[in-house]
Amino acid sequence: MTVLVADEMNFDALRASVDKACGLMRVMANADRLMLLCQLSQGEKSVGELEDALNIRQPTLSQQLTVLREAELVSTRREGKNIIYCISSQSALAVMQVLSQHICYATTRS
């Protein structure tokens, strides 16, 4: 009976971890948000830098950055009139480090 209880506890912990991972992947499964995270995986960027680098216009950019902020994947700080973004989730950063090698910047390598 003790083994069953331990297995149930392990299952509950696994289920919680899997649910959290699914939430992370759901937020990341959007082309604009993934491009933003690709840029931010290289270091913090201002809204203007993100807009210029990705050619995402302001309304869409703001909307997608809000989703990333609300999911606690990115955080902000103010520098004068600029809002600076960076990846704040260690899980998102780990995923982006792998994706950066295979997807984000794969086209720049031969």
- pLDDT tens string 32-69: 999 999 999 999 999 999 999 999 999 999 999 999 99
What does the CA dihedral 54, 60, 61, 67 come to, rounded to 10 degrees? -130
Confidence band, pLDDT 50/70/90 cuts, at residue 83: very high
- CATH number reported for the structural domain that contains residue 81 in this entry: 1.10.10.10
Place 85 in a pLDDT band, splitting at 50, 70 and 90.
very high
The answer to whether the beta carbons of residues 41 and 93 sit under 8 Å apart is yes
Residue 106: band (very low, low, confident or very high) from pLDDT cuts 50, 70, 90: low
Tell me the C-alpha distance between 60 and 68, whole Å: 12
- 5 pLDDT more than 80: no
Task: Write down the pLDDT at residue 11.
Answer: 82
- As for how many domains the chain has, the answer is 1
**Residue 47 exposure: Cα atoms within 13 Å on the Cβ side:** 19
- Label residue 7 exposed, middle or buried (CB < 10 Å: 0-12, 13-18, 19+): exposed
pLDDT for residue 1: 41
- pLDDT value at 4 more than 70: no
Query: What is the H or E stretch that residue 83 is in?
Result: strand 82-87
29: domain range? 2-108
- pLDDT at residue 107 in the model: 54
pTM of the predicted protein model: 0.81
Phi, psi of 80 (to 5 degrees): 65, -125
